[in-house]
């Protein structure tokens, strides 16, 4: 279907046994943080803070 909207998928997983949340942006970039607000701000600030060509895991 041409012209159909494309969904952007954001995923946040909790790393069991830790206080760390692991987020994956729709572009494939990854980030980990203990603060859920920090993680969502990072994701929703796309592309500030991460770039689609850079799929390295960023640990804070």
Per-residue pLDDT tens digits for 9-58: 888 999 999 999 999 888 888 999 999 999 989 888 877 766 555 444 44
Residues 26, 30: Cα–Cα separation, whole Å: 10
- The answer to the question of residue 59 being in a domain is no
Do the domain assignments include residue 37? yes
Q: Which candidate, 5, 46, 2, places its Cα nearest to that of 27?
A: 46
Residue 59 has pLDDT above 50, yes or no: no
- Contact of 22 with 32, CB cutoff 8 Å: yes
DSSP result, 6-56: PPP--EEEE-TTSS-EEEE-TTS-EEEES-HHHHHHHHHTTTTT--TT---
Report pTM: 0.64
Tally of domains in the chain = 1
| Amino acid 57: pLDDT | 46
Place of tokens 């804070």: 60
Answer whether residue 4 is part of any domain. no
């Amino acid at each position: 279907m041409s012209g159909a909207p494309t969904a952007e998928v954001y995923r946040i997983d909790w790393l069991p046994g830790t206080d760390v949340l692991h987020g994956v942006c729709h572009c494939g970039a990854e980030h980990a943080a203990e603060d859920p607000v920090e993680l969502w701000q990072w994701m929703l600030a796309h592309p500030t803070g991460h770039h689609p060509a850079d799929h390295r895991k960023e640990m804070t």
